[in-house]
Amino acid sequence: MGHFITLATCVLNQWALDFQGNYERILESIKQAKAAGARYRLGPELEITGYGCNDHFYEGDTYLHSWEVLAKLLVADVCQNMLIDVGMPVAHKNVKYNCRVIFLNKKVLLIRPKMFLANDGNYREMRWFASWQKYRTVEDFYLPRIISEVTGQHTIPFGDGVISARENRVLRGAFHAGQALDGVEIFTNSSGSHHEFRKLDTRIDLIRGATRKSGGIYLYANQQGCDGERVYYDGCGLIVMNGDILAQGTQFSLRDVEVVTATMDIEEVRSKRGDQPSRMTQASAAPAYPRIFADIALTYDAFKDGFDLPPTQTRAPFYHTPEEEIRYGPACWLWDYLRRSKSGGFFLPLSGGLDSCCTAIIVFSMCDLVCKAAKNGERHVIADARRVAGEPADSTYVPEDPKEFCGRIFHTCYMGTENSSKDTRARAKHLAEWIGSCHVDINMDSIVSAFLAVFQIATGKVPRYKVHGGTETENLALQNIQARSRMVLAYMFAQLLLWIRGRTGALLVLGSANVDETLRGYFTKYDCSSADVNPIGGISKIDLRKFVKYSKTNLGLEILQEFLDAMPTAELEPITKDYVQGDEVDMKMTYEELSIYGTLRKVAKCGPFGMFSKLIHQWRGIFSPTEIAQKVKLFFFYYSINRHKTTILPPSYHMSPYSPDDNRFDLRPFLYNSSWTWQFRRIDEGAAALNKLSEQKKE
Ligand SMILES: *[C@@H]1O[C@H](CO)[C@@H](O)[C@H](O)[C@H]1NC(C)=O
Ligand SMILES: *[C@@H]1O[C@H](CO)[C@@H](O)[C@H](O)[C@H]1NC(C)=O
Ligand SMILES: *[C@@H]1O[C@H](CO)[C@@H](O)[C@H](O)[C@H]1NC(C)=O
């Protein structure tokens, strides 16, 4: 046979509205695809504008500049003799669509609007676009003048059509069994999908499953990186044939352009489909899709053209461990944020606790990735690293040692009081030494006493800690003054530390509130949880602990054992002989429980009564119905009185499906009646009924 075909799918680190940069990355990917021998190139969703433009999709400019970029691509030399498929928004009859534009040799062949829009979780495509509802229908689209001038065309087909290259090799977007029946052999999925913790296998299974039964080739393209939002697009360009993976790109990488190619014998698709008589009968009855001819041979005859490109071997899918996902995902996202915001590095308040320790490890991991990329000769990473590190453009500096690079861009600070323990102070210092950050150790007692003095002058009163006989209110207020002063200090240091080192610019302040604390509202509003960005805001405490364990061995940070052994504490109350403030005691619930509540609330969509009903089964034999009722009510009480705090949290890397990321992922009110009278009564009635039932059984 020998009907070989080489196809390319791309993963691009696009940036919302950076039309110039996006254009250059698209062009580079086409160049690489061509060099690899591909005759068809697929790019990610909305690659010309960047996926995350959000309400900029309302603006006419966004559409105008997309056409302008397309016009440049149409005439580029490297784009000739190749079937090219790019993503951009297109308005047709005043209706906006999320489209693929497919072109060949200075002619636009087809504009294909998306038919099923993503509109859940982080996605809101229906806010800006309509979905195309006319199945198997194309209509005339009138090209704008800048395109007509290049292509000489005035109208082209717009709608649910398929592309048919020479020898009837048929291509179309998004897998659909009906199209497989209609003879479509190559399916394309141009996506803008973000990293979801422990979820890659779901995506890969879906893609493999699509062609396993009905045969076919499936190309998956995606963006990669932070394009200006909380999510991290996680690449993983894929090429699958008949359910087998031929090529899989990286999930986490600092590269701007990654092209994934594979060469296959397309006869295998026909052969897979050819021996199923019932399928053939179904297919002969299947309605036809409008076909648009592309005058290009996608396949080559190996006997005539030579076997230059041997067929790609199938391979097993590759998955990172959850610990690696934490190590790489937020690190890549931080790098994009750092270089794209043109900051000179990061500032992190290190408390000596586990959370800020994790943020520090992630920054260290980022430095490690930068050094590895530099070692691979990735030029734009080196150029960005030079700029971030404050080197002039003509410098020859190349980051080689993560610790050394950390010392240039990462500043940590322990902000203690007279009541901070020696242990936390020492842990922070040791960690800084291990990772090489520029560390400052300060005492802020004078600031706290200055606040108290002002208060005393104004009111004549001095609040006392609970351990000294003060009320709950005094106790909280005293803790909050310390916590909030830290935030003010953090921003001051972040602004001035580079000046001290004779450099320009400022540092980005990093926060370290984990997802469980956020959910429970266990933090002081506008304390160090307020920052520029928070890399761990989507990660649960349980996973953070596992990550620290992993990093101890895998990043060679022996020091981390000290953090694992320490009890989580905010250290805002004085330590006495028989009282040390502990997080889980303070919160009145464990981190383990918080993960369960969080998942039930958001993922399983439970209200208080629903959660109670679920936990009755989940915790059977562990807690009595009365205890479960107490726990659920306690959680909803704290959740509801603290929900207002989530409204001011800094952007964090979106990772957890139970993230309470306010107003974007988790849309809720911030003012609740926290007595939940109706709901809690139902819980109490439920618990009472269960107790009665079990007593009857005993009798
Ligand atoms: C394309 O891939 C995404 C995953 O990124 C998946 O959710 C979606 O269902 C796929 N589309 C089709 C039509 O297969
Ligand atoms: C530290 O503890 C001492 C003794 O318990 C107390 O008097 C003082 O107010 C505390 N200082 C701060 C800053 O909390
Ligand atoms: C909350 O609702 C209850 C009735 O369900 C009511 O008695 C109570 O006053 C409300 N709380 C506030 C603060 O209004």
Task: Give 361-372 pLDDT, tens digit per residue.
Answer: 999 999 999 999
Residues 148 and 217 in one domain: yes
Provide the number of structural domains found in the chain: 3
Domain boundary at 270, 305, 340, which?
A: 305
Q: What average pLDDT does the segment 466-495 reach?
A: 94
pLDDT of residue 8: 97
Characterise 278 by phi-psi region: left (phi > 0), alpha (psi -120 to 50), beta (else): alpha
Tokens encoding 385: 């690293």
State which H helix or E strand residue 40 sits in.
strand 40-42
Ligand 1 is surrounded, with C-beta below 6 A, by 174-175, 189, 191, 193, 203, 206, 210
Which residue's CA is the nearest one to ligand 1's atom 7?
Answer: 203
* Residue 313 maps to a domain: no
Residues 580 and 597 in one domain: no
Residues 363 and 494 in one domain: yes
Give the helix, strand, coil percentages of the chain, each rounded to 5.
45, 20, 35
The upper half-sphere exposure of residue 172, i.e. CA atoms within 13 Å in the direction of its Cβ, equals 30
CA 636 to ligand 1 centroid distance, Å = 35
CA 655 to ligand 1 centroid distance, Å = 19
* Residue 215 maps to a domain: yes
Under the banding of pLDDT at 50, 70 and 90, the label for residue 249 is very high
* Residue 312 maps to a domain: no
Which atom of ligand 3 is the closest one to the Cα of 677?
Answer: 5
59-101 residue pLDDT tens: 999 999 999 999 999 999 999 999 999 999 999 999 999 999 9
Which atom of ligand 3 is the closest one to the Cα of 673?
Answer: 1
Tokens encoding 494: 């972040």
* Residue 536 maps to a domain: yes
CA 584 to ligand 2 centroid distance, Å = 22
pLDDT of residue 579: 72
Q: What average pLDDT does the segment 491-500 reach?
A: 97
Among 105-114, 226-235, 535-544, 662-671, the least confident range? 662-671
Under the banding of pLDDT at 50, 70 and 90, the label for residue 192 is very high
Report whether 215 contacts 186 (CB < 8 A). no
Which residue's CA is the nearest one to ligand 3's atom 13?
Answer: 673
CA 609 to ligand 3 centroid distance, Å = 18
Which residue's CA is the nearest one to ligand 1's atom 11?
Answer: 174
Tokens encoding 274: 């050819």
Q: How many C-beta atoms surround the C-beta of residue 153 within 10 A?
A: 15
Average pLDDT score, the chain: 94
pLDDT of residue 306: 66
* Residue 310 maps to a domain: no
First to last CA, the chain: 79
pLDDT of residue 427: 96
Under the banding of pLDDT at 50, 70 and 90, the label for residue 173 is low
pLDDT of residue 307: 61
Give the mutation target among 179, 191, 196 for probing the ligand 1 site: most ligand atoms within 8 A of CB: 191
* Residue 316 maps to a domain: no
Look up the pTM and report it: 0.94
Residues 281 and 333 in one domain: no
Residue 686 belongs to domain spanning: 590-699
Which residue's CA is the nearest one to ligand 2's atom 2?
Answer: 574
pLDDT of residue 213: 85
**Looking at the CA of 209, which ligand is closest?**
1
* Residue 314 maps to a domain: no
pLDDT of residue 546: 96
Which residue's CA is the nearest one to ligand 1's atom 12?
Answer: 174
Which residue's CA is the nearest one to ligand 2's atom 7?
Answer: 574
**Looking at the CA of 202, which ligand is closest?**
1
* Whether residue 675 has its Cβ less than 6 Å from ligand 3: yes
* CA 16 from centre of chain: 15
Residues 346 and 492 in one domain: yes
436-464 residue pLDDT tens: 999 999 999 999 999 999 999 999 999 99
Report CA Rg, the chain.
29
Residues 284 and 359 in one domain: no
Residues 41 and 175 in one domain: yes
CA 114 to ligand 1 centroid distance, Å = 12
CATH no. for residue 197?
3.60.110.10
pLDDT of residue 547: 97
* Whether residue 671 has its Cβ less than 6 Å from ligand 3: no
636-650 residue pLDDT tens: 999 999 999 999 999
Under the banding of pLDDT at 50, 70 and 90, the label for residue 541 is very high
pLDDT of residue 166: 86
Domain boundary at 249, 273, 305, which?
A: 305
Tokens encoding 242: 């008949």
294-334 residue pLDDT tens: 999 888 877 777 667 788 999 999 999 999 999 999 999 99
pLDDT of residue 174: 66
CATH no. for residue 461?
3.40.50.620
pLDDT of residue 264: 93
Which atom of ligand 2 is the closest one to the Cα of 445?
Answer: 13
Residues 561 and 594 in one domain: no
* Whether residue 445 has its Cβ less than 6 Å from ligand 2: yes
**Strands 438-443, 410-416: parallel, antiparallel or unpaired by DSSP?**
parallel
Residue 619 has pLDDT above 50, yes or no: yes
Residue 250 has pLDDT above 70, yes or no: yes
340-364 residue pLDDT tens: 999 999 999 999 999 999 999 999 9
Residues 328 and 183 in one domain: no
Domain boundary at 534, 569, 587, which?
A: 587
* Whether residue 419 has its Cβ less than 6 Å from ligand 2: yes
Spatial CA neighbour of 90 closest among 104, 79, 101: 101
Residues 560 and 645 in one domain: no
**Looking at the CA of 675, which ligand is closest?**
3
Q: What average pLDDT does the segment 239-254 reach?
A: 97
Residues 31 and 178 in one domain: yes
pLDDT of residue 1: 46
Residue 566 has pLDDT above 90, yes or no: no
* Residue 646 maps to a domain: yes
**Looking at the CA of 672, which ligand is closest?**
3
pLDDT of residue 574: 77
**Looking at the CA of 237, which ligand is closest?**
1
Which atom of ligand 2 is the closest one to the Cα of 417?
Answer: 13
Residue written as tokens 């002039």?
Answer: 392
CA 353 to ligand 2 centroid distance, Å = 20
**Looking at the CA of 676, which ligand is closest?**
3
Residue 2 has pLDDT above 60, yes or no: no
Residues 434 and 383 in one domain: yes
Residues 126 and 47: their CA atoms lie apart, in Å, by: 18
* Whether residue 474 has its Cβ less than 6 Å from ligand 2: no
**Strands 107-113, 95-104: parallel, antiparallel or unpaired by DSSP?**
antiparallel
Q: DSSP secondary-structure letter at 252? A: S
- Which residues sit opposite 219 in a β-bridge? 188, 239
